[in-house]
């Protein structure tokens, strides 16, 4: 599904970066996926994504995080998705770590305002420890020519017997060039509690039939400070039908 938006200047994207550069994300898991604020009224999707990172200084973090989800739209404004989240530890063990429910609400029609807006709601519960999490994200996207700019700003509440209750936040930014439907190179920035990263990403769509396509993404994110992983690799495959 393609979208037409009004123009967005690169200056505004950089300004957003500066305004929120001090924001943090729960547990430092800031490098994941940039969400777009759109809902297709007849869309169903099966998604798999994986994040592989170097070990962070002073922290015991997973070697890989795997997420598998199934989602469907309820209308032309609402989309729901359920996740199973698995973790591969640095000693090679793999186990289910958490379950998550996600609900996206497209707030505005495409091109109705200077940017397109949406909200994302997430609830996650851990399997091995007493930790729960609820988050709300503001999603915005705008386009100028062949360029698109996207920003996600999360507020996250964590609670449970195995964690101190806390309210945190997250910022992720993406700028991409729509060279073709199959190939869109871009740049992503992530700011988290213990990780800050910047790096290139490529993505695209492969049509597989009427209202069916395979969406793919791959990113290579470099740590920007001594507390961040030196390298983070993220991959995503999403079958829409």
Strand (E) or helix (H) holding 149:
strand 147-159
Alpha-carbon span 138 to 183, nearest angstrom: 27
- CA quadruple 33, 156, 117, 210: dihedral sign: positive
Q: Taking 80 as the threshold, does the pLDDT of residue 17 lie above it?
A: no
Give the pLDDT mean for 101-121: 96
Residue boundaries of the structural domains of the chain = 10-240
User: Using an 8 Å Cβ cutoff, are 4 and 148 in contact?
Assistant: no
Rounded alpha-carbon distances, angstroms, from residue 86 to 68, 96, 100, 232: 8, 4, 11, 17
Cβ count near 93 (within 10 Å): 9
- Which range has the worst mean pLDDT, 102-106, 133-137, 210-214? 210-214
pLDDT at 3: 41
pLDDT at 12: 42
Rounded alpha-carbon distances, angstroms, from residue 83 to 35, 47, 97, 104, 135: 15, 9, 11, 14, 15
Give pTM, 2 decimals. Answer: 0.85
* Residue 55: pLDDT band with limits 50, 70, 90: confident
Rounded percentage of the chain residues whose pLDDT exceeds 90:
73
* Neighbouring residues of 45: CB distance < 8 A, sequence distance ≥ 6: 69, 70, 71, 72, 81, 238, 239, 240, 241
pLDDT at 222: 96
53 exposure class (CB count in 10 Å sphere: 0-12, 13-18, 19+): buried
* Residue 29: pLDDT band with limits 50, 70, 90: low
pLDDT at 194: 73
* Residue 5: pLDDT band with limits 50, 70, 90: very low
DSSP string, 46-113: EEEEEEEEPPPTT----SEEEEEEEEEESSSSEEEEEEEEEEE-TTS-EEEEEEEEEEEEE-S-TTSS
Yes or no: is domain 10-240 CATH 2.40.160.40?
A: yes
User: Using an 8 Å Cβ cutoff, are 117 and 142 in contact?
Assistant: no
Conformation bin of residue 211: beta by default, left when phi > 0, alpha when psi is -120 to 50: left
User: What average pLDDT is seen over the chain?
Assistant: 88
- Which range has the worst mean pLDDT, 1-10, 29-38, 99-108, 135-144? 1-10
Give the pLDDT mean for 88-101: 94
Give me the residues paired with residue 102 across strands: 81, 122
- DSSP-based three-state secondary structure for 125: strand
* Residue 1: pLDDT band with limits 50, 70, 90: very low
Give me the residues paired with residue 206 across strands: 214
* Residue 111: pLDDT band with limits 50, 70, 90: confident
pLDDT at 116: 98
* Neighbouring residues of 75: CB distance < 8 A, sequence distance ≥ 6: 39, 41
217 or 62, which is more confident: 217
């Amino acid at each position: 599904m393609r979208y037409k938006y009004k123009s967005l200047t690169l200056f505004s994207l950089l300004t957003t970066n500066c305004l929120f550069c001090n924001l943090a994300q729960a547990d430092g898991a800031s490098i994941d996926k940039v969400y777009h604020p759109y809902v297709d009224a007849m869309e169903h999707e099966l998604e798999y994504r994986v994040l592989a990172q170097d070990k962070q200084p002073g922290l015991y973090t997973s070697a890989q995080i795997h997420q598998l989800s199934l989602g469907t739209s309820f209308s032309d404004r609402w989309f729901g998705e359920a996740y199973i989240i698995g973790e591969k530890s640095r000693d090679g063990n793999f186990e289910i770590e958490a379950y998550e429910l996600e609900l996206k609400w497209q707030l505005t029609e495409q091109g109705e305002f200077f940017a397109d807006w949406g909200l994302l709601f997430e609830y996650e519960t851990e399997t091995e420890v007493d930790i729960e999490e609820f988050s709300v994200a503001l999603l915005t996207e705008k386009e100028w020519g062949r360029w698109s700019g996207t920003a996600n700003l999360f507020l996250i509440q964590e609670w449970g017997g195995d964690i101190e209750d806390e309210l945190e936040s997250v910022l992720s930014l993406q700028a991409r060039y729509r060279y073709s439907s199959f190939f869109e190179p871009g740049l992503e920035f992530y700011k988290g509690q213990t990780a800050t990263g910047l790096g290139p990403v490529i993505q695209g769509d492969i049509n597989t039939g009427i209202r069916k396509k395979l969406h793919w993404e791959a990113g290579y994110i470099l740590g920007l400070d001594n507390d961040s992983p030196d390298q983070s690799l993220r991959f995503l495959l999403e079958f829409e039908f």
